[in-house]
Each structure stands twice: as structure tokens, then as C-alpha cells.
Structure 1
Amino acid sequence: MNTHLSPALQTPLEHEIATHLVEALQLEMTSEEIDPQAPLFGEGLGLDSIDALEISLIASRHYGVQLRSDDEHNREIFHSLRSLSAYIAAHRQAA
């Protein structure tokens, strides 16, 4: 049984975060076009370290999640929209 979502399907939280990313990073795509499993950096969306800072601000501002530059898990956290969303879901502050 295949329990993994197809690349085209985003969870509601992934869609919400993708919308913030498109707006804040001024990406030339819609939030729906972001494959939740594609890498955010390098060959995926092609984001860079400045974009990582903006993503950290989004996480803090909208979800109360602090992402630290010295976190040893950043590579996994920032790997994809799906991994970033999972981290935020696990660590977000109740509104």
C-alpha cells in the first residue's frame, strides 16, 4: 500500500506555507506548483541562504517556530516543503 502523497498533492499546512514562501520570496510560480517533496535548495526550487533566513522569519512570524542557524538538523528541516511543514507542525505554538 502506497501511503505517500503524490507530488502534486499538498497537505493544507504545506499549501499555507507554500503560499507564504511564494509571497515572501517573490517566486515566479504559484503555491500549488511547489512539489512538497522537491528540494527547496539546489536543483529543486533553487533557494539560497538568504531565502533560508526569510523562511526562518516566516516560521517564527506565522507559527511561533524558532529555526536556528546552528541547528544540526537544518539540512533535514529545510530539505523540502514537506519536511519543513512537518517540523513546523510538530513545533508550532498554539495560537
Structure 2
Amino acid sequence: MSEANPELQSEVARLIVDALNLDIKPEAIQPEARLYGEGMGLDSIDILEVALAVSKRFGFQLRTDNADNVRIFNSLRSLTEHIAAARTK
């Protein structure tokens, strides 16, 4: 697996914090910490909000029926790597 771009990872962390109005600093999100459930404690509605924000910011659709969503939204690092590979802007 490729190493995530540190600048993009920081941007994605800020996007998550802003989209969900979290009361934490973006740099407090650990790259390998689970986003869903245990870890950051995000629920399915939170993940949908993040997916919408990612779609708007990076110009590609994250579909709810994608079988890879569990992997994509596993951690900040996995989400960043997916964005780096799929983004159009």
C-alpha cells in the first residue's frame, strides 16, 4: 500500500472535522485509527456526511453501494489513499 500524501491527509482530516463539526483538532485524528464505530466513533450518518463533503471537494462520487466502503472508510489513511487515486480536482 502506498504512503499517503501528508498534505492531502491533513486536508482530509480538516474536511472530516469541518463536515461533522467535531470538537477536535484535525491533527488529533490518527492516520490508522478506525473512523467507523470503535476509534473515532462515527456512525453511518457521519460517514454519509463525510462522503458528501469528499464528493464536493474532490469531484468524484463515493457510492453507498460500493463494496469497498468498509475498506475506504476504515481509517483516515485508507480514505486519503482512495481520494488520491480517484479525485478529479
Give the TM-score taking structure 2 as reference length. 0.91
- 1:52 aligned partner: 47
Identity of aligned residues (%): 48
Which structure is richer in relative contact order (CA contacts within 8 A, separation 6 or more)? 2
Please report the RMSD computed on the Cα atoms of aligned residues, expressed in angstroms.
Answer: 1.6
Q: CA deviation at 1:11?
A: 1.1
Give the TM-score taking structure 1 as reference length. 0.85
Comparing both structures, which one devotes a greater share of its residues to helix? 2
- What per-residue deviation string (whole Å, max 9, x for no partner) do you get for residues 28-56 of structure 1? 11001000110001111000011111111
- 1:81 aligned partner: 76
Superposed, which structure 2 residues align to 1:1-95 within 5 Å?
11-93=6-88, 95=89
Larger radius of gyration: 1
Matched positions, count: 87
Any unmatched runs of 5+ in structure 2? none
The runs of 4+ residues in structure 1 deviating greater than 4 Å are: none
Quick one: distance in 1 between partners of 2:62 and 2:36? 16
Any unmatched runs of 5+ in structure 1? none
Quick one: distance in 2 between partners of 1:51 and 1:82? 17
Quick one: distance in 2 between partners of 1:40 and 1:28? 15
